[in-house]
């Protein structure tokens, strides 16, 4: 018997529409959704929007420039920018605002490129100004700059492929056949999905000279001709050989830039007239205003933007008696007047993104340009062969002009003229059509003899073109000739001055920070704390991330300098005063981010150099140790990072600062331990010295710990002490292990 419903409540029915909807809903794995929906979008952004190709352009740049070329704006007069934007939408349907923004960046007035491609009239804003808005497209005019002739040179001679536009109404080029390596000349930035590209510009003359040198000698050292990046906003590039080599070899790295300035003594003011490419005038003004407001800079009465039609000018009014050199040294450290350009040379090669060094980019461009020239010559060869074919048919007419006239006169129907000429003279349809189209006034012996004379010249030209196609040397010669022409027509001096970082004298300035005792802490994961004695006395247990532990503790002062050694053979110099006072109850500052470390770079050790006396000992996994004088890390410049801080031949295990000689202990993975005096290690002045053997290791054994003997629990010291190195050491006894592990920390 069915149970009676309580309260006689009516049975609820699910509407049929809901049932139908429920039937349509299907479960799908998230990985399938990503593959079917997200991946096509990501690929589209990478390939068709954000990453430049070997011609140096993104699709948006290429579509705009090609549209302007087809509008006749290479040699014609300027037209309204709104007209260009509207016409470009036939190729680029992403909205007029995006198209106009692209035009602005390519324009001469905006000053974002060393070789601008758009010759504009009107207000196009400035790359060094955040707030200076450009005029609307209805107010500005534009045409192509003269250098664009090198972008479209013989584009109609099959030099590049063409594809249909988005609606199939016209065709557009997949690449522009640039006669110079524009990919390195024009700065380019793009953010795709999961990757990005950031290419700095190089001087046009230097790039072309380097390309020529590589074509003539593949072993050419590119650093002899391609001195350093060049930026349209000028400024000074702080040249560091290691940084430049890294960028040239890997396509990644950082280039340091700083502003140019002059002191006007009569007015007691500083004029800043060139800025780093990566900053803006407003960013500098905001930062200086903040420093004045917080009292960190007291030497400035006023700072204002006096930029006008003559160019950028930021004026700083100084108080009486202020040393401008010292003030600018501080402003370089504390404001965007000195900044870094992060390089990421990510370029699409045959539809695939690839990060490349400068030489590899030039090799790719050369290979692509060779193909363009080869296709151009082949197209010209086919055209000349077709012309020769027609003239050979005309030559047969010379044998009997009267016969040709008679054939045409006696042919009743027009459609039969060509077939009758083919039969009468043994020529093909193309030749017969050519003969039939000759004007009556040209049917004379003089005209025909002149045309036949061309035959010999054409045969020579065809032979020369065929020889060129077979000779890679001649093809390279054509590219070299074109590059020399570009240098002659469009070459210009560098805008960014090269200043060698090692030659810059660091000005001793009064320390603005208050000096007081602090205790420094650092964890294994790279978290840093600076705690005052008063705060430390009131603190409880140190807060750490789960799984993290404290590896460095030292008493110091607020003005103390700190050297941070990483696993990438680099050392970063910072000061305790650069970081805020902290408490035990917080995690602290994450040093890799605060110091701007490279991606994947980890901290190995922290050292307080003091007055840069004494030495520092590096212990390596392969059993070697290197002792380097501490003053090898003392820089006379304001550099905050040194490459080649130690040898890269073996992983680093420990870094030990020594003010004076002491006994050291080393332990291997099989618990063999060695105690020796540091005087056995001779100090070296070369930072990346490989060191000398200390602990003789068996196969597949490594050094795992090293430190001062005084910091270890070893009791039977004589068991492990040696008078000469390298030595095998002795197995560590249990009574010498203590409660703590042997090590620095």
Domains located in the chain, CATH noted: 57-177 (3.90.199.10), 260-336 (3.30.1360.40), 364-489 (1.10.268.10), 517-736 (2.120.10.90)
Q: For residue 425, how many other CB atoms are within 10 A of its CB? A: 19
Q: Which helix (H) or strand (E) holds 718?
A: helix 717-720
pLDDT above 80 for 3: no
Burial of 667 (0-12, 13-18, 19+ CB in 10 A): buried
pLDDT above 90 for 313: yes
Contact call for residues 646 and 605 (beta carbons, < 8 A): no
**What per-residue confidence (pLDDT) applies to 690?**
87
Nearest Cα to Cα of residue 743 among 704, 694, 706, 702: 706
Contact call for residues 214 and 366 (beta carbons, < 8 A): yes
Mean pLDDT in residue range 254-260: 94
Mean pLDDT in residue range 197-215: 95
pLDDT above 60 for 638: no
Could you tell me whether strands 236-239 and 497-500 are parallel, antiparallel, or unpaired per DSSP bridges? parallel
Q: Which residues contact 148 (CB under 8 A, 6 or more apart)?
A: 65, 68, 69, 74, 117
**What per-residue confidence (pLDDT) applies to 1?**
41
pLDDT above 60 for 559: yes
Mean pLDDT in residue range 78-86: 95
The CA R_g of the chain, rounded to the nearest whole Å, is 37
- Mean pLDDT of the chain, nearest integer: 87
In this prediction, what percent of the chain has a pLDDT beyond 90?
A: 46
Q: What is the pLDDT of residues 494-505, one digit of tens each?
A: 999 999 876 676
Give the residues across from 24 on adjacent strands: none
**Three-class SS state of 698:** coil
Nearest Cα to Cα of residue 81 among 96, 62, 63: 96
pLDDT above 70 for 517: yes
Mean pLDDT in residue range 142-153: 95
Distance CA 147, CA 239 (A): 30
Distance CA 251, CA 349 (A): 15
Contact call for residues 217 and 199 (beta carbons, < 8 A): no
**What per-residue confidence (pLDDT) applies to 6?**
46
Tokens describing residue 111 = 């000053």
Q: What is the pLDDT of residues 438-466, one digit of tens each?
A: 777 777 777 777 777 788 888 889 999 99
Phi first, then psi, for residue 600 (nearest 5°) are 80, 0
Give the residues across from 575 on adjacent strands: 561
Q: For residue 180, how many other CB atoms are within 10 A of its CB? A: 25
How far is residue 398 from each of residues 87, 177, 426, 440, measured CA to CA in Å? 51, 43, 13, 15
Whether the model pTM is above 0.75:
no
Tokens describing residue 1 = 């018997």
Could you tell me whether strands 692-693 and 652-658 are parallel, antiparallel, or unpaired per DSSP bridges? unpaired
Q: Which helix (H) or strand (E) holds 455?
A: helix 445-470
pLDDT above 60 for 9: no
What is the DSSP code (8-state) at residue 107? B
Mean pLDDT in residue range 279-283: 94
**Three-class SS state of 510:** coil
**Three-class SS state of 170:** coil
pLDDT above 70 for 573: yes
pLDDT above 70 for 741: no
**What per-residue confidence (pLDDT) applies to 505?**
62
For the question of residue 139 being annotated catalytic, the response is: yes
Tokens describing residue 150 = 């090198």
Within a 13 Å sphere around the CA of 677, how many CA atoms are in the beta-carbon half? Answer: 7
**What per-residue confidence (pLDDT) applies to 639?**
63
Nearest Cα to Cα of residue 358 among 249, 479, 255: 249
Contact call for residues 317 and 303 (beta carbons, < 8 A): yes
Phi first, then psi, for residue 110 (nearest 5°) are -75, -30
**What per-residue confidence (pLDDT) applies to 508?**
52
Contact call for residues 205 and 492 (beta carbons, < 8 A): yes
Mean pLDDT in residue range 59-70: 94
Can you give the length of the chain in residues? 745
Q: Which helix (H) or strand (E) holds 556?
A: strand 550-557
Mean pLDDT in residue range 650-674: 90
Q: What is the pLDDT of residues 359-414, one digit of tens each?
A: 999 999 999 999 999 999 999 999 999 988 888 887 787 777 778 888 888 888 88
What is the DSSP code (8-state) at residue 222? G
**Three-class SS state of 149:** helix
Within a 13 Å sphere around the CA of 295, how many CA atoms are in the beta-carbon half? Answer: 3
Q: What is the pLDDT of residues 527-551, one digit of tens each?
A: 999 998 888 888 778 888 888 888 8
Q: Catalytic residue among 139, 166, 500, 590, which?
A: 139
Mean pLDDT in residue range 20-42: 70
């Amino acid at each position: 018997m069915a149970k009676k419903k309580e309260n006689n409540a009516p049975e609820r029915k699910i509407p049929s529409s809901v049932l139908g909807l429920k039937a349509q809903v299907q479960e799908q794995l998230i990985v399938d959704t990503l593959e079917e929906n997200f991946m096509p979008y990501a690929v589209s952004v990478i390939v068709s929007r954000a990453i430049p190709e070997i011609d140096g352009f993104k699709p948006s740049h290429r579509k705009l420039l090609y549209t302007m070329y087809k509008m006749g704006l290479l040699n014609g007069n300027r037209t309204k920018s709104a007209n260009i934007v509207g016409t470009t939408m036939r190729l680029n349907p992403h909205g007029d605002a995006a198209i106009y923004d692209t035009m602005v960046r390519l324009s001469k007035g905006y000053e974002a490129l060393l070789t601008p491609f758009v010759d504009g009239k009107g207000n196009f804003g400035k790359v060094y100004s955040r707030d200076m808005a450009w005029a609307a497209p209805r107010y500005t005019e534009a045409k192509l700059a003269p250098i664009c002739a090198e972008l479209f040179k013989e584009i109609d001679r099959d030099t590049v492929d063409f594809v249909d536009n988005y609606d199939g109404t016209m065709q557009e080029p997949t690449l522009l056949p640039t006669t110079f390596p524009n990919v390195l000349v024009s700065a380019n930035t793009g953010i795709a999905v999961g990757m990005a590209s950031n290419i700095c510009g190089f001087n046009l003359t230097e790039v072309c000279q380097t390309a020529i040198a590589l074509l003539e000698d593949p072993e050419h050292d590119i650093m002899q001709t391609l001195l350093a990046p060049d930026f349209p906003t000028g400024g000074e590039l702080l040249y560091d050989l290691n940084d430049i080599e890294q960028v040239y070899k890997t396509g990644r790295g950082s280039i340091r830039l700083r502003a140019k300035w002059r002191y006007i003594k009569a007015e007691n003011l500083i004029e800043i007239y060139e800025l780093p490419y990566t900053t803006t005038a407003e960013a500098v003004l905001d930062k200086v205003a903040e420093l004045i407001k917080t009292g960190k800079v007291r030497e400035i009465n006023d700072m204002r933007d006096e930029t006008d039609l003559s160019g950028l000018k930021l004026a700083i009014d100084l108080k009486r008696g202020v040393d401008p050199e010292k003030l600018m040294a501080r402003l370089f450290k504390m404001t965007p007047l000195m900044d870094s350009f992060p390089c990421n040379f990510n370029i699409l090669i045959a539809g695939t993104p690839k990060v490349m060094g400068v030489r590899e980019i030039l090799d790719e461009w050369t290979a692509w340009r060779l193909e363009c020239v080869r296709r151009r010559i082949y197209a010209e060869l086919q055209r000349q062969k077709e012309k020769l074919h027609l003239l050979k048919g005309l030559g047969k007419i010379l044998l009997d002009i009267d016969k040709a006239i008679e054939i045409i006169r006696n042919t009743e129907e027009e459609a039969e003229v060509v077939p009758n000429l083919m039969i009468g003279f043994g020529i093909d349809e193309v030749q017969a059509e050519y003969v039939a189209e000759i004007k009556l006034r040209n049917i004379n012996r003089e005209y025909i003899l002149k045309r036949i004379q061309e035959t010999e010249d054409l045969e020579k030209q065809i032979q020369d073109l065929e020889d060129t196609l077979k000779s890679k040397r001649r093809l390279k010669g054509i590219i070299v000739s074109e590059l020399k022409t570009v240098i002659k027509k469009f070459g210009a001096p560098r805008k960014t001055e090269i200043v060698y970082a090692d030659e810059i004298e660091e000005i001793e300035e009064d320390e603005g920070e208050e000096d007081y005792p602090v205790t420094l802490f650092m964890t294994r994961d790279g978290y840093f704390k600076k705690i005052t004695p008063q705060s430390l006395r009131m603190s409880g247990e140190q807060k750490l991330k789960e799984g993290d532990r404290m590896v460095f503790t030292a008493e110091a002062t607020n003005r103390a300098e700190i050297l941070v050694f990483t696993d990438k053979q680099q050392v970063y110099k910072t000061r305790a005063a650069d970081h805020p006072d902290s408490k035990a109850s917080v995690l602290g500052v994450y040093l890799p981010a605060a110091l701007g470390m490279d991606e994947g770079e980890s901290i190995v050790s922290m050292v307080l150099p003091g007055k840069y006396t004494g030495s520092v000992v590096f212990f390596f996994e392969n059993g070697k140790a290197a002792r380097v004088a501490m003053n090898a890390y003392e820089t006379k410049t304001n550099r905050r990072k040194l490459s080649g801080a130690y040898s890269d031949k073996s992983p680093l295990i420990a870094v030990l600062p020594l003010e004076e000689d002491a006994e050291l202990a080393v332990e291997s993975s099989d618990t063999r331990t060695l105690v020796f005096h540091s005087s056995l290690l001779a100090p070296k002045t070369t930072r990346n010295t490989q060191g000398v053997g200390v602990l003789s290791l068996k196969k597949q054994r490594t050094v795992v710990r090293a430190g001062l003997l005084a910091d270890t629990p070893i009791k039977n010291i004589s068991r492990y002490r040696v008078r000469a190195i390298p030595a095998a050491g002795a197995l560590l006894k249990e009574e010498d292990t203590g409660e703590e592990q042997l090590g620095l920390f």
